[in-house]
């Protein structure tokens, strides 16, 4: 029979029959934080810069950033504190110009033209 000094009650107990009341009680939480981390959907009332309406729901406000839900018809990206007065629409793609450029490049390669190889000597870092 082997005994050890109990740190809980200060008495000696048999190691094979340790009293249940002298086991260290673990709390349910494993961290010092009182609750797990969660992000709440509610917020103080904020005005969406996409449609000008006021929202208390983060998800509803983020839905207004989608093109189909705002009067601008533009997908907005939620970022930091950028100055929105400088916002400009992205340039429109000129599909015909792109297609023509690709066709010119294909015909140039097919006719034997080899484009120059660019190295870091021609474009120093």
- Give the bridge partners for 14, in sequence order: 3
Among 64, 42, 38, residue whose Cα is nearest residue 51 = 64
Retrieve residue 88's tokens.
């400009």
Binding flag, residue 106, Zn ion (CB under 5 A): no
Binding flag, residue 23, Zn ion (CB under 5 A): no
Binding flag, residue 14, Zn ion (CB under 5 A): no
Of residues 2 and 30, the one with the C-beta less far from Zn ion: 2
Of residues 11 and 107, the one with the C-beta less far from Zn ion: 11
Of residues 6 and 63, the one with the C-beta less far from Zn ion: 6
Binding flag, residue 3, Zn ion (CB under 5 A): no
Binding flag, residue 22, Zn ion (CB under 5 A): yes
Q: Using an 8 Å Cβ cutoff, are 42 and 57 in contact?
A: yes
Backbone φ and ψ for 55, nearest 5 degrees, come out as -130, 145
Smallest gap, in angstroms, from Cβ of residue 1 to Zn ion? 16
Determine how many CB atoms are found less than 10 A away from the CB of residue 55: 19
For binding to Zn ion (CB under 5 A), which residues are involved? Answer: 6, 8-9, 22
């Amino acid at each position: 029979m082997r005994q050890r000094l109990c740190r809980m009650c200060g008495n000696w107990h048999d190691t094979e029959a340790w009293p249940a009341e002298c086991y260290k009680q673990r709390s349910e939480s494993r961290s010092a934080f009182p609750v797990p981390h969660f992000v709440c959907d509610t917020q103080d009332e904020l005005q969406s810069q996409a449609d000008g309406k006021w929202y208390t729901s983060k998800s509803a406000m983020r839905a207004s950033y989608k093109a189909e839900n705002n009067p601008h018809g533009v997908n907005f990206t939620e970022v930091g504190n950028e100055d929105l007065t400088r916002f400009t629409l992205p340039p429109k793609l000129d599909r015909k110009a792109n297609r023509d450029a690709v066709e010119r490049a294909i015909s140039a390669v097919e006719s034997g033209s080899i484009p120059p190889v660019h190295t870091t000597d021609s474009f120093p870092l």
